[in-house]
Amino acid sequence: MINIGQHNFLKIVRKTGRGTFLSAEQHGELFLPKGQTPEYSEPGDKIEVFIYRNSDDEVVATTKKPRASVGEVACLEVISTNSVGAFLEWGLPKDLFAPFGQQATPMAVGERHIVAIYIDNTGRIAASSKLNRYIKAETSGFKSGQKVKAIIGDKTDLGYKLIINSKFWGLLHSSEVFQSLTYGRAMTAYVKKVRTDSRLDMSLNEIVISDTNVPSSNTSLQSRILNLLKENNGFYPINDKTSPEIIYKTFAVSKKVFKATLGKLYKNRQISIDKDGIRTK
């Protein structure tokens, strides 16, 4: 079945001087211009195309890749507005429409908004910035330490809201932030903790889980600390009293993670922690 608003693999039926015709099941044959046809493709081959409706409401195929597909979330720029909604640039010739009723706040030209992409009741692709209709607070299937795709959302009193895998909300606490974050930025993030209410506390630093299923010191961080000491004749002027900013600049981890890792190295008698820094034992 052909899915509008998604990437599909369609079979080449025939090629002409103008372009390629693709078999699209219930939609018949779709034309792909010569400039978008893979050079060495032949009839019978399957190629990946994105399916959407053009300005004439016709189902069309393109090898151009939009910034997001139906069911995903992206931060897009508003390029025009009218009395019924706004139009967002998403990488295709036909701009993405955000109806006025699907705007959390009125959109203006030049602004960037995080939107969920969906199919409306007429079968057209549209966008909504009313994210709570599409993003859930309670999650399922996540584990501490899991790597995910995240988009930076609004800043709150506790930190930043993150959109996880285009489907769930997560919270990045202020204590986990040691870099400048901008609204709509796509990043890799890690599940720090799955709370008892099934909500997620997040981190931008990799989390390593111990055998007891509790977040523990990052073993790769241990190696980096020991290597840094080795490269500096067994001493480096940083310890558990160093500011979070310097720790993050040096190791790209929070002070909490750094202190826990130092503690493990100290317990294993691999380092000593002194007033002026740390030393190899």
- Res 209: pLDDT: 57
Domain match, 274 and 221 both: yes
Query: What CATH number does the domain containing 222 carry?
Result: 1.10.10.10
Asked, for residue 139, whether it belongs to a domain, the answer is: no
Looking at 183, 209, 235, the residue that finishes a domain is 209
Give the residue-averaged pLDDT of 117-135: 95
- Res 9: pLDDT: 94
Domain match, 241 and 273 both: yes
Among left, alpha and beta (phi > 0; psi -120 to 50; other), residue 245 is alpha
Asked, for residue 25, whether it belongs to a domain, the answer is: yes
- Res 122: pLDDT: 87
Give, as one character, the DSSP assignment of residue 95.
P
64 contacts 36 by C-beta, under 8 angstroms: yes
- Res 211: pLDDT: 44
Closest CA to 254 of 264, 263, 239, 244: 244
- Res 214: pLDDT: 41
Determine what percent of the chain is predicted with pLDDT higher than 70.
Answer: 95
Distance CA 65, CA 145 (A): 31
Domain match, 120 and 162 both: no
Give the residue-averaged pLDDT of 236-256: 86
- Res 216: pLDDT: 47
Parent domain of 252: 217-280
Asked, for residue 141, whether it belongs to a domain, the answer is: no
Question: Who wins on pLDDT, 115 or 59?
Answer: 115
How confident is residue 271, by pLDDT bands cut at 50, 70 and 90? very high
Closest CA to 209 of 223, 226, 194, 198: 194
Asked, for residue 158, whether it belongs to a domain, the answer is: yes
Asked if pLDDT for residue 201 goes beyond 80, the answer is yes
Asked, for residue 104, whether it belongs to a domain, the answer is: yes
Asked, for residue 21, whether it belongs to a domain, the answer is: yes
Q: Sign of torsion, CA 189 194 195 198?
A: positive
Domain match, 228 and 261 both: yes
* Rg of the chain over all Cα atoms, to the nearest angstrom: 25
Residue-wise DSSP of 188-246: EEEEEEE-TTS-EEEESS--EE-TTSSEE--HHHHHHHHHHHHHTTTEES--TTS-HHH
Asked, for residue 270, whether it belongs to a domain, the answer is: yes
Q: What order of strands is seen across the sheet that includes strand 29-33?
A: 29-33, 19-23, 7-15, 46-53, 59-62
Query: What CATH number does the domain containing 81 carry?
Result: 2.40.50.140
- Res 180: pLDDT: 85
How confident is residue 171, by pLDDT bands cut at 50, 70 and 90? very high
Give, as one character, the DSSP assignment of residue 131.
G
Question: Who wins on pLDDT, 178 or 208?
Answer: 178
Place of tokens 């019924």: 84
Asked, for residue 112, whether it belongs to a domain, the answer is: yes
- Res 248: pLDDT: 83
Place of tokens 């009218």: 82
Asked if pLDDT for residue 150 goes beyond 60, the answer is yes
Looking at the structure of the chain, the number of domains it has is 4
Looking at 62, 87, 106, the residue that finishes a domain is 62
Looking at 170, 186, 209, the residue that finishes a domain is 209
Query: Which amino acid is residue 110, in one-letter code?
Result: G
